[in-house]
Amino acid sequence: MNDWTFVAADDEALDDVLSGRPTPMGYPWPKRTRNRVRLSEEIGALVRRTDFDGRDRPAALVVGPDTGRRLFGRYAQLRSDLAPLSAWTHVLDWSQFEQLHDDERPAQLEGFEASWTGLCVAEALMLSDRPLSQMRIAACLATPSFAIARSHALWQGDPIEAVLSRYDQCQRLLRTSDGSANRLREAFLPVWRALINASAPQSRGVGKELRTVSEALIKLRIARDAGRSESQALGDVFTFPAARFLSRLDTLSPEARLREFDRLIVELESLPDVEQEQRLNLQCLAGYLATVAAGGSPSLGLAEKLATRWPQITAWAYVIGGIGEKVTWTSSFDGLGRLVVRELLRPFRLDEAPTSDFALAEAVVLVDRALTDPLVHLRIKQSRVLSVAIMPGVNIAVPFVEPTVAESRPSRTEEPVQIAAKASDNGLSILAKLLAPYLLEHLYPAEPEIEVPQPQRRQGARGRGTRKDTQLSLNVDRDRQR
């Protein structure tokens, strides 16, 4: 059994804790310290004495934002052997720590796991414009839908805007732009809100324009769970004239359902922008109809053909298609479904080391645009896709391209004097380093530089040519560009 201790530490004590030396005086956790240490302490560490070797392992740091910033910088500069901290120990803020009542925090989506998974897949499909058969799990884990779903599953209560803000910050920090994910944001926002409301343990209430669709999701789930007529359940919620077909949906042939779908789209097109609620209702209803258009079988092609004009319909279709689905380990979505749902529902465990490459909070401090390699302090050992924790346990995929040899070579503008100044070098190596810039000029002819407006970014190695070009698009697009 693990033995947890909460240590309130100053910088010196923290060095000991993080180095694995015997833990200073602490409190047993979670029994006695819950919620009672915050006021008096600046830094907290949760330390676990492991079964197998009896050593103390710091499993989580608890810090406020200012303290975190200071610590991340300090360890990167002074104890770089331990940096980045978030690669090996969880980093929590105090409010997150207060929500922990155990060393495991379950992820809960209240029966809407399949719907959230469908939404992640739908967004990845629309962003990448690829068929499902070519979709990879990383593309789904790179979507805002995944970030929101996973944050909601683990840390209910964080507003969508806060999650999206972290998501965008991550994209801006590690890529040249926040990518094309914003393209769908406005369309997906109501879907996220309605689904969060439906998949929360207790309804938090939604805006007036979302009340009907939120109720529809819940009624649909209840009907499916009880084996009752789902079209009748929806008919009770959608009472406007365009939804009258729901009362006789069971008797409509696929061809007749197709005509109803077309009618919904015509009405949607004719609706003025101010009719926001009715617009959402029609989109949701069209999404539902796409899932049963082929006589009870889905016909997602109907929605997907309209995805450019009405991405909401495809989003609703994928959400509604998963409502009430409890068996989530099938090969749905060409096998992607079970992989996405596994990541959504993975519990956050303090006794397991982080599975991300680093936390966003630390990356914000350690990324230095003035360096040849701005990400050098993050010690990235992954290729292609990074896993970044935008919150503890909420790891999103971020496309990443390792610098090429040409990109990582020393700059010719580097001062030879600086290199020569290192006392530890012997004479031969000093000579080699002095000559290196001139040799490299012949070994690696200069590449043409691509002009990309980046006012805040210095023209460093990571900012050159291919790197910028590939980072302008989502990872899911990258293979296609090759």
Partner 1 sequence: MSLWWASKDQLDNDQMRLIERLPLRDNHLVLGPPGSGKTNVLLRRAQYVRSQGMPNVLVLSFTRALTEFVKTGCYDAQGREIFPRNLVSTIEGWIRFLYKEHKTRLPETDHLKLPQRKALIASSALEFVHQNKLPRFEAIFVDEAQDLLAEEVELLRAWSSTLFLVGDNRQKIWTNAAGLDAVRDQVNDLKEERLTTHYRLAEELCEMADRIQTAENGQPLMTNSQYRGPKPGKIKPNGPMGRTAQIAKAADRLYDQLRVYEDLIRQGDRLGVIVQRTEDRVLVKKAFDADERLVGKAQIIRARSGADEDRDHDPAFDPSCPISILTEKGSKGLEFRAAHWLFCDEDQQYRTAETYYTMVTRPKTRLDLYFASDLPMTLAKAYSPPAEMDW
Piece of 26-34, 190-198, 245-253, 463-471 that binds partner 1 (CB under 8 A): 245-253
- Each residue 126-145 as x (binds partner 1 by CB under 8 A) or -, in order, gives -------x------------
When asked if residue 222 is in the footprint of partner 1 (CB under 8 A), the reply is: no
Of the candidates 406, 431, 434, the residue with the CA atom closest to the CA atom of residue 418? 434
Q: Of 134, 295, 431, 449, which lies in the binding site for partner 1, with binding defined by CB under 8 A?
A: 295
> Among residues 297 and 426, whose Cβ is nearest to partner 1?
297
- For residues 430 and 415, what is the distance between their CA atoms, to the nearest angstrom? 13
Piece of 211-219, 314-322, 356-364, 375-383 that binds partner 1 (CB under 8 A): 314-322
Within 10 A of 318 (CB to CB), how many other CB atoms are there? 31
Type of residue found at 255: E
Beta carbon of residue 129, minimum distance to partner 1 (angstroms, whole number): 17
Of the candidates 425, 464, 427, the residue with the CA atom closest to the CA atom of residue 444? 464
When asked if residue 299 is in the footprint of partner 1 (CB under 8 A), the reply is: yes
Q: Of 202, 331, 383, 424, which lies in the binding site for partner 1, with binding defined by CB under 8 A?
A: 331
When asked if residue 255 is in the footprint of partner 1 (CB under 8 A), the reply is: yes
> Among residues 335 and 410, whose Cβ is nearest to partner 1?
335
Tokens representing residue 372 in the block? 């040849």
Say which residues have a Cβ less than 8 Å from residue 448's Cβ, sequence separation at least 6.
465
| Residue 137 CA: distances (Å) to CA of 133, 257, 304, 336, 431 | 11, 33, 20, 6, 49
> Among residues 113 and 168, whose Cβ is nearest to partner 1?
113
Burial label for 343, CB within 10 Å (0-12, 13-18, 19+), is: buried
Question: Would residue 400 be called left, alpha or beta, if left means φ above 0 and alpha means ψ between -120 and 50 degrees?
Answer: beta
> Among residues 251 and 418, whose Cβ is nearest to partner 1?
251
The number of angstroms, rounded, from the C-alpha of 60 to the middle of its chain's C-alpha atoms is 21
> Among residues 158 and 325, whose Cβ is nearest to partner 1?
325
Piece of 236-244, 297-305, 368-376, 461-469 that binds partner 1 (CB under 8 A): 297-305
Beta carbon of residue 305, minimum distance to partner 1 (angstroms, whole number): 8
Piece of 138-146, 151-159, 234-242, 250-258 that binds partner 1 (CB under 8 A): 250-258
> Among residues 336 and 386, whose Cβ is nearest to partner 1?
336
- For residues 140 and 318, what is the distance between their CA atoms, to the nearest angstrom? 13
When asked if residue 308 is in the footprint of partner 1 (CB under 8 A), the reply is: no
Radius of gyration of the chain (CA): 26
Beta carbon of residue 247, minimum distance to partner 1 (angstroms, whole number): 13
When asked if residue 298 is in the footprint of partner 1 (CB under 8 A), the reply is: yes
Beta carbon of residue 322, minimum distance to partner 1 (angstroms, whole number): 5
When asked if residue 118 is in the footprint of partner 1 (CB under 8 A), the reply is: yes
Beta carbon of residue 125, minimum distance to partner 1 (angstroms, whole number): 13
When asked if residue 287 is in the footprint of partner 1 (CB under 8 A), the reply is: no
Q: Of 337, 374, 392, 393, which lies in the binding site for partner 1, with binding defined by CB under 8 A?
A: 337
When asked if residue 324 is in the footprint of partner 1 (CB under 8 A), the reply is: yes
When asked if residue 258 is in the footprint of partner 1 (CB under 8 A), the reply is: yes
When asked if residue 325 is in the footprint of partner 1 (CB under 8 A), the reply is: yes
When asked if residue 330 is in the footprint of partner 1 (CB under 8 A), the reply is: yes
Piece of 8-16, 286-294, 375-383, 394-402 that binds partner 1 (CB under 8 A): 286-294
> Among residues 84 and 311, whose Cβ is nearest to partner 1?
311
Q: Of 61, 147, 284, 293, which lies in the binding site for partner 1, with binding defined by CB under 8 A?
A: 293
Beta carbon of residue 174, minimum distance to partner 1 (angstroms, whole number): 33
Applying CB under 8 A, the residues found at the interface with partner 1 are 114, 118, 133, 224, 250-255, 257-258, 291-302, 317-318, 321-325, 327-328, 330-332, 334, 337
